């Protein structure tokens, strides 16, 4: 029987994962199928109970299940336990599942790749990172950057969450992590938006842009990254570029668009599922073709 893989999320509107995996499975000649499992939070327990009998072998886990799925997993990696979220699940036989986190690896790869292109230097040690948001994605990215020796300033609308994140990570790493005020204009080397601001502010006009699109603030950074990409948001003026990315580009600041992290976390996920390297170029081309041809 074909092995079933898929994206577990809710709601799922315009996921880009199936095109990447369909292309990868085909070129690798794998007897596997990638689906979308749109499961609301209250259905998660039932879904996990049926997963083995339904031949589900691997899951890409997205919002809102990244933390909630952990109690259903027999094993997790140390990364998952530190971050508090998983985005990759593998069936390990005997009715047991294993949870990993490839988000942090994907983010790190995207940042290093950009720096390498920019100046040939990929060492992030002692870089100052301003991280917007304190949800699961932010925690994964902070984990990656602290591990690489960068110092992180977290700004979150709800300060208790950024404070908790700073406390959770402070003891784990030598690099510093601090919670900063949400709208403070303290800058650094790398700015990363992990908030769902664009999703929650559809149709926002130029004069309603948030503080982090302030031009003087942006100008101070070497690199600006936004993990959002157009997955159906009707306020994106460009298929890939959020208003933050466009503003940074206008200021001649190097940028990283959201599909880069999406690609690299998927490439890492593939390795765990199949124990062999992913066909990166095939996945990249499939993703870019889908983005270029989609009019949301
Ligand atoms: P993810 O797993 O992708 O990080 P999440 O856990 O839902 O998603 O986190 C969403 C983040 O976006 C949070 O940091 C949230 O801030 P709060 O902790 O204050 O809720 C942030 N966020 C969402 N909408 C926002 C908005 N309109 N302005 C600022 N931050 C916002």
CATH architecture of 3-101+263-293: 3-Layer(aba) Sandwich (3.40)
Listed residue (88, 82, 86, 114) closest to 259, CA to CA: 114
How many whole angstroms separate alpha carbon 101 and alpha carbon 137? Answer: 10
Atom of ligand 1 lying closest to residue 194 CA: 4
Q: Is the pLDDT of residue 206 over 90?
A: no
pLDDT tens-digit readout, 38-83:
999 999 999 999 999 999 999 999 999 999 999 999 999 999 999 9
Tens digit of pLDDT for each residue in 129-177?
999 999 999 999 999 999 999 999 999 999 999 999 999 999 999 999 9
Among 41, 144, 157, the mutation site with the greatest number of ligand 1 atoms within 8 A of its Cβ is 157
**Ligand 1 proximal residues by C-beta, below 6 Å:** 63, 66, 133-138, 156-158, 161, 194-197, 200-201
- In ligand 1, which atom is closest to the CA atom of 139? 4
What is the rounded CA–CA span in Å between residue 113 and residue 119?
Answer: 10
DSSP character for 63? T
- Please report, for the chain, the start and end positions of each structural domain, with discontinuous segments joined by +: 3-101+263-293, 104-256
Q: Which residues pair with 60 in a beta bridge?
A: 7, 88
Fold exhibited by the domain 104-256: Rossmann fold (3.40.50)
Q: In CATH terms, are 3-101+263-293 and 104-256 the same topology?
A: yes
Distance 264 CA to ligand 1 centre (A): 22
Rounded Cα–Cα distance for residues 84 and 139 (Å) = 8
């Amino acid at each position: 029987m074909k092995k079933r893989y898929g994206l577990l999320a809710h709601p799922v509107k315009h996921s880009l994962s199936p095109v990447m995996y369909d292309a990868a499975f085909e070129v690798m000649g794998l007897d596997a199928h990638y689906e979308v499992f749109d499961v609301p939070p209250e259905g998660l327990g039932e879904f996990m109970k049926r997963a083995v009998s339904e031949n589900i072998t691997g899951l890409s886990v997205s919002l809102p299940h990244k933390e909630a799925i952990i109690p259903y997993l027999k094993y997790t990696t140390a990364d998952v336990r530190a971050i508090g979220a998983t985005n990759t699940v593998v069936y390990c036989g005997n009715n047991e599942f294993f949870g990993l986190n490839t988000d942090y690896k994907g983010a790190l790869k995207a940042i290093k790749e950009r720096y390498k292109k920019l100046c040939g230097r990929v060492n992030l040690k002692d870089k100052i990172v301003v991280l917007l948001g304190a949800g699961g994605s932010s925690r994964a990215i902070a984990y990656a950057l602290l591990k690489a020796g960068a110092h992180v300033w977290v700004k979150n609308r709800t300060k208790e969450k950024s404070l908790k994140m700073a406390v959770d990570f402070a003891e784990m790493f030598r690099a510093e992590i601090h919670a900063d005020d949400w709208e403070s204009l303290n800058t650094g080397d790398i700015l990363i938006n992990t908030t769902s601001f664009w999703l929650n502010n559809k149709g926002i006009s130029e004069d309603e842009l948030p503080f982090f699109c302030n031009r003087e603030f942006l100008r101070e950074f070497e690199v600006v990254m936004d993990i959002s990409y157009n997955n159906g948001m009707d306020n994106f003026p460009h298929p890939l570029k959020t208003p933050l990315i466009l503003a940074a580009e206008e200021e001649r600041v190097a940028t990283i668009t959201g599909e880069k992290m999406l690609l690299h976390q998927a490439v890492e996920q593939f390795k765990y599922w199949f124990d062999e390297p992913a066909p990166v170029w095939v996945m990249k081309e499939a993703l870019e073709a889908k983005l270029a041809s989609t009019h949301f």
